[in-house]
Every structure is written in structure tokens, then in C-alpha cells.
Amino acid sequence: MPQVNVVILAAGEGKRMRSELPKVLHPLAGRPLIAHVIAAARALRPRRICVVYGHGGEQVPRAVKAPDLVFVRQRPQLGTGHALAQALPHLGASGLTLVLYGDVPLVELATLKAMVAGGSERLTVLTAELDDPTGYGRVVRNRRGAMTAIVEEKDANPAQRRIREIHSGIMALPTARLEGWLARLTNRNAQREYYLTDVVPLALTDRVAVATVEARTPREALGVNSKAELAQLERNYQWRYAARLLEQGVALADPIRLDVRGELACGADVSIDVNCVFEGSVKLAERVEIGANCVLRDTEVGPGTRIEPFTLIDEAKIGANCRIGPYARIRPGTRLARDVHIGNFVEVKASAIAARSKANHLAYIGDSTVGRNVNIGAGTITCNYDGAEKHRTVIEDDVHIGSDVQLVAPVTVAKGATVGAGTTVWKDTPPGGLVINAKTQEHRRGWKRPVKKKGNGEQ
Ligand code: UD1
Ligand code: CA
């Protein structure tokens, strides 16, 4: 492989997105478009990666900055050729410059390798054959089939518009030629822009070899110019992700009703019902079952655990053979050991719950350490916040907490204790025994329930 520098063009406005956000920051599969392009560039291990940014000011560098990226500002934005010229001071005098577009996110490593394989003396353009080439630059070839020009749709004549072979935007150029070529570009075209694509005839004039590489699948060449195209690419990406999971043996109830916005790693015999969303890094061990409509973010789930429908889990570690949900919310910092049951309308935050403990209905467990074999009754809450600070609740092994208990943190319920229904625990309790608040219950004989008066006009 020749010495390669990558330049990612990302300065354009993206008018057709109709958004304040720079186009390359719109998310595809949960990450900015340009983050996909940067990842593809890194996989190639180039000498340097330059990002040309402009529209939207510092938003682009702020969103993706990293020590291995060089940011170059293009202001004003006068076209793709002008954009590449801004990066010239960073590209050295020889080797190959690989241009990627911040709005063409799905290009793959194998294709980029093919683009640079021709060496540093060749101009190579990545093309694709599209059923609908609308909006793309068309690849014009001579009678011998050699590419002679790339014509933008807005500049194309009717015959050229019928060409279905398009320019993906991705191009590898001999660095030594760049400065001369870019200086010779003009903006005499429909958009009054300096088109990078005009280097093709310049290369031919200079007798530099010109070649095309066809994308392995058209999707790699697809660009995002509108919300509709973004939505199509998203579906395309998700469909391909789902297909890979199916290949690995994951049972998907419906592969088109799955969204992975990050990485989903699955063990053997995992099954996932419809409409689930996985964000960040999610690991599901063998035999995990995910019910319909669950959202899991940056979470690990142990073998044999079942997540029931409508459950939301964020930054948690769930052990083996647990039952979570339906309608459970597990928040960051939660660690569940094996055989834990968290039922409907239970919220758990920053808490560690040991093996075989259960909170099956309507509870809030926050900033808590819960031992083994603990049962937490319906309506129980940890009062962890005093308005200023958060405090911890400790519930030791074998504790049984009745319904509707308030645990006012900081507080410890020692091993084996039973807390009666409706108790407010505001002091540490000794092990064993029963904890209750003295309460009375009376019965008022003959008491009458108020009745609504008729005819007083009130509703
Ligand atoms: C461009 C190509 C077209 C190709 C298509 C593929 C040119 C002249 N046209 O058209 O042949 O088929 O991409 O998607 O190159 N940009 C800058 N600075 C600028 C202008 C653009 O950095 O001054 C960046 C944009 O942020 C974007 C990329 O370059 O990432 C392409 O720009 P865009 O305006 O979308 O070009 P297209 O009209 O799509
Ligand atoms: Ca574009």
C-alpha cells in the first residue's frame, strides 16, 4: 500500500436537510454520519486524517475531535475542489490522497483498500451503478469504456442524465499532482463551485492514469443529502446489521423491526422480539430473551436472563437467570447478581442487588446495596435524596420488606429483619425481628360519607 493521507470533506451546509445542525452531524445508527466515515478512514491506517469543516463553525470538530485528526477550516465554502485545497498544507509532497465525503457514510474497508491498491501515480474514482442516479455526478466514458469526465446532474445534458453509473465522491489522487490540478479548477458551472470532479480531464491532459473501482454494493456509494435519504440509509444499515445477527444464529422475531445504534454482541440462542433498540455497547450472553419494545443501552446481560416487554436498561450489568420487567427501568450503575427478579414499574438506580432477591412490583431502589434472598414489597421506596445529597440504603441478606415501606437513607436494615407494611424506617435496625411503626387503626361507627348536593349549579 502506498503512503496514504485521508481527507474527509465535511464543510458543506446540507441545505436539503432543512436543519440547523451541520449535515455530517446528523445521526446514522446513533452516531454522526462523519463518525462512520472517520471509522472507515482509521481502519485503513493512513498516515494522517484531515477533516475539512466549515458550515456550522466549530460544531463538527467539537463533536468528533480526537488526537489523530487534523481539522482544517474552509471558509467560505466554494466547492469540493476548494475544500480539498484547504488541506494541501497537511498532505506532504508524495504518496496518495484519499478523499472521503462526510456525507457518504457506508463505505467499507475492503473497498478503500481497492481504491489505494493502484499505487500513488493513479487517479482512482469509486463508482456505482444506481437504479436511480438522481442528484449524483455521472461517470462519462468514451467509446473504449474509459472514464473521461464526471458531470454533475445540474450541468448534465439529457443523455448524460440517463447514465446510471455515478461518482460516489470517493477518490484517490496522486498527492504530487494535487496542487497543480486544484489551481487549475474553475467555477464555470451551474453551481459556481470549484468541483473536485473536474480533476478527471486534468489528469487525462497530464497523461496520468485514470481508473474506476466499482463499489462492491451500491449502498457503499450512497450519499445523504436529505432526511429521506438519511432514513433510507438508516434502514439499509439496520437491515444489514440484522442480517448479520441472523447469520450468527440470533433469533429475531422480525429483522426489520430491530435498531442497533452501536454494537450488539450475542451468545448462542439469543432471541429478540420486535421493536427493540440497542444503543452503545450491549452484550447478551447465551439464551438471553428480550421481549418486545425494550431499550438497552451500554449493558451486559447474563446467560438465561429474560427481559420482559417495555423494559428500559441503561448502563447496567445483569446477572444470569434474572427476570426483568415488564415495564422495568434499570438506570446507570446497577449491578444485579444471578436469579434476581425486577418486576413491573420498578426503578433501580446505582444499586447492587445480590443473588435471588426480588422486587416484583412498583418500587424505587436507588443508591442501595441489597443482599441475597431479599424480598422488597410493592410500593417500597428508598428515600435517597434529602434535597441536597444522595444517601445510601443497605438491606442485608434475608431481609423481608413489606409493602409500601419508606427507607430513609442513610439507613441499614440488618440481616434477617422483617419490615412491616407501611413502615417508615429512619433508623438502622438490628438483625432479625420485626420492624414496624406504632400506628393505630380505628373504626368510626355510623360515620356518613359526604354526598353531593343537587341543584347548586356546581359541576
Ligand atoms: C458530490 C459530487 C458528485 C457526487 C456526490 C456523491 C462534486 C462536485 N460533486 O456532489 O459528483 O456524485 O458528491 O455524494 O464533488 N463539501 C465541502 N466544502 C464545499 C462543498 C462540499 O466540504 O465547499 C463537502 C460536503 O460537506 C459533503 C461533500 O463535500 O460532505 C459533498 O458535497 P455536496 O455539496 O453534498 O456535493 P454533491 O452535490 O452531493
Ligand atoms: Ca452530497
According to the model, what pLDDT value does residue 122 have? 97
Query: What is the band of 457 on the pLDDT scale with cuts at 50, 70, 90?
Result: low
145 within some domain: yes
Closest ligand to Cα 23: 1
> In angstroms, how far is CA 310 from the centroid of its own chain?
20
217 and 251 in a single domain? The answer is no
- Domain stop point among 221, 237, 265: 221
11 and 44 in a single domain? The answer is yes
Residue whose cell numbers read 419494545: 293
14 and 153 in a single domain? The answer is yes
CA–centroid distance, 133 to ligand 1, in Å, is 15
According to the model, what pLDDT value does residue 458 have? 56
- What tens digit of pLDDT does each residue of 217-268 get? 999 999 999 999 999 999 999 999 999 999 999 999 999 999 999 999 999 9
Q: Please tell me if the CB atom of residue 79 comes closer than 6 angstroms to any atom of ligand 1.
A: yes
- What tens digit of pLDDT does each residue of 358-379 get? 999 999 999 999 999 999 999 9
- What tens digit of pLDDT does each residue of 49-107 get? 999 999 999 999 999 999 999 999 999 999 999 999 999 999 999 999 999 999 999 99
458 within some domain: no
Q: Which numbered atom of ligand 1 lies nearest the CA of 23?
A: 26
pLDDT at 179 over 80: yes
244 and 210 in a single domain? The answer is no
Domain that holds residue 197: 4-221
179 and 255 in a single domain? The answer is no
> Which residues belong to the active site?
361
In total, how many domains does the chain have? 2
440 within some domain: no
178 and 283 in a single domain? The answer is no
We report the CATH number of the domain holding residue 328 as 2.160.10.10
> How many C-beta atoms lie closer than 10 Å to residue 149's C-beta?
16
177 and 325 in a single domain? The answer is no
Q: Give the three cell numbers for residue 111.
A: 473497498
Residues 6+ positions from 206 with CB-CB distance below 8 Å: 177, 180, 181
CA–centroid distance, 241 to ligand 2, in Å, is 24
455 within some domain: no
Task: Please compute the mean of the pLDDT values over residues 347-359 and round it to a whole number.
Answer: 98
Q: Which numbered atom of ligand 1 lies nearest the CA of 136?
A: 12
Integer-rounded Cα Rg, in Å, for the chain is: 31
446 within some domain: no
216 and 352 in a single domain? The answer is no
**What percent of the chain has pLDDT above 70?**
99
34 and 106 in a single domain? The answer is yes
Q: Among 183, 159, 170, which Cα is nearest to 211's?
A: 170
Query: What is the band of 454 on the pLDDT scale with cuts at 50, 70, 90?
Result: confident
CA–centroid distance, 101 to ligand 1, in Å, is 7
Q: Among 73, 76, 81, 64, which Cα is nearest to 25's?
A: 64
According to the model, what pLDDT value does residue 353 have? 99
Top mutation candidate among 36, 50, 73, 80 for ligand 1, by most atoms within 8 Å of CB: 80
Task: Please compute the mean of the pLDDT values over residues 270-289 and round it to a whole number.
Answer: 98
Separate counts of helices (H) and strands (E) for the chain: 8, 37
pLDDT at 342 over 90: yes
62 and 100 in a single domain? The answer is yes
Query: What is the band of 456 on the pLDDT scale with cuts at 50, 70, 90?
Result: low
Which H helix or E strand runs over 38?
helix 33-43
| Dihedral sign computed on CA atoms, order 230, 233, 239, 245 | negative
Task: Please compute the mean of the pLDDT values over residues 292-310 and round it to a whole number.
Answer: 98
454 within some domain: no
| Dihedral sign computed on CA atoms, order 357, 360, 363, 364 | positive
According to the model, what pLDDT value does residue 100 have? 98
Q: Give the three cell numbers for residue 274.
A: 420486535
Q: Which numbered atom of ligand 1 lies nearest the CA of 13?
A: 26
Start-to-end CA span in the chain (Å): 83
Query: What is the band of 336 on the pLDDT scale with cuts at 50, 70, 90?
Result: very high
- Assess contact for 202 and 181: CB atoms under 8 A: yes
249 and 397 in a single domain? The answer is yes
Instruction: Specify the residue with its C-alpha closest to ligand 1, atom 33.
Output: 12
- Assess contact for 409 and 387: CB atoms under 8 A: no
Instruction: Tell me how far apart the alpha carbons of residues 349 and 329 are, in angstroms, rounded to a whole number.
Output: 9
Closest ligand to Cα 56: 1
- Assess contact for 151 and 140: CB atoms under 8 A: yes
> How many C-beta atoms lie closer than 10 Å to residue 313's C-beta?
29
- Assess contact for 412 and 394: CB atoms under 8 A: yes
Closest ligand to Cα 7: 1
- What tens digit of pLDDT does each residue of 123-174 get? 999 999 999 999 999 999 999 999 999 999 999 999 999 999 999 999 999 9
84 within some domain: yes
CA–centroid distance, 197 to ligand 1, in Å, is 10
Instruction: Specify the residue with its C-alpha closest to ligand 1, atom 20.
Output: 79
449 within some domain: no
158 and 238 in a single domain? The answer is no
